[in-house]
Chains A and B, each alone.
Chain A
Amino acid sequence: MSVLECRNLTKAYKKGYNVLNGLNIQVPGGRIVGLLGPNGCGKSTLIKIIAGILQPNEGEVFVDGKPVGEQTKALVSYLPERTYFNAWMRVEELVSYFAEFYQDFDKDKAYRLLKDLNIDPKAKLKTLSKGTKEKVQLILVMSRNAKLYLLDEPIAGVDPAAREYILSTIVGNYNPDSTIIITTHLISDVEQVLDDFMFISYGGYVMKQGSVEQVRMENSCSLDEYFREVFRCSQNF
């Protein structure tokens, strides 16, 4: 059974302007999938719909066979592109907060990851830099034992060394039952951890999808180069 299935998904923020247009996807368990596309093609919208934050105008979404709703929120671990924490909280307070909120939260893991990244659990969020806040948020998201992880731009704001650590964390978290969906523009950084990719085009439909290794075999180029070719912006002088 697929961990994630979207059927004929359509979303418009304004009537007549569809962000997503009859989008269909099916993702089996145990995959790490890159959701890629140019700016404004609807990646974050799609992620938010799967997370149950936005309602689609048409279509259905199933997580682990269940329609998106209360039940699926317990299965989905979502990393938004922006941080949403209260500035007055301390990191350790957030950890307890998450542990209370989510049954599948692994506190030991969270503290281990914080230590690895040299983040003081006693620190107040308002004293942390933007990148460090993003790291905290990712740690919290990855410390759950979820069925589906939705990571919206997980590495955009962090330094290259931490980026590597985060990718290892994602790989280390891998288990054959859960699926990870990552959106990013830093394709060359993530492509070696991906099984599959999906290119979403303007107008919100899946333009191309497949396995990353297949791209390399058939086109003898990396996914990053392939993306540049597919979405080439032409210059008119």
Chain B
Amino acid sequence: MAWSFSGHTPVYLQIAQRIRAEIIRGTYPPKSQIPSVRQLALTAAVNPNTVQHALTALETEGIIYSEGTAGRFVTDNTELIDAARQEAAHQLVGEFVSRAAQLSISKDELIEMIKEEDI
């Protein structure tokens, strides 16, 4: 199934975000190998150069590393993965709060609503 992308941010950032989420979730555990550029390009139906760009960005972040021709692997630095998790969570909460603010829901109301939700 091809991945779908939103129009407003570069596709490579959206791919990077998606792979980062898989790492945080543990689909790709520390030290495991992630799929090749070619495989990812085929499953996502995305240009291989774009996938390459996304993986390079993740490498710069340090969350994955390249081992020459053997492929790319998830870092064993769990602190780094945890930091990525925190950052992703903060981002999500930030968006959520600002959208709630657009509906003029107060902070207390919001907290009450969250408590009532089953997570």
Contacts and interface: CB of A to CB of B under 8 A. Distances in A.
A119 B116 CA distance: 54
Task: Give the interface size bracket for A toward B.
Answer: 20 to 34
Contact of A174 (B2, B8, B12, B41): B41
B18 to A, nearest CB: 13
A218 B9 CA distance: 9
Contacts of B38: 172
Given A168-B42, A171-B42, A192-B45, A213 B8 contact: no
Interface of A is mostly: helix
Contacts of B48: 171, 174
Interface in A194-237: 194-195, 212-213, 216-217, 220-222, 224-225
Contacts of A177: none
A21 to B, nearest CB: 30
Contacts, number: 61
A217 B9 CA distance: 6
A32 interface: yes
Contact of B8 (A30, A172, A195, A216): A216
B41 A171 contact: yes
20 contacts: A31-B49, A164-B2, A164-B45, A168-B2, A174-B41, A174-B48, A192-B5, A192-B44, A192-B47, A193-B45, A193-B46, A195-B47, A195-B49, A216-B10, A216-B11, A217-B10, A220-B9, A221-B8, A222-B6, A222-B7
Interface of A: 30-32, 164, 167-168, 171-172, 174, 192-195, 212-213, 216-217, 220-222, 224-225
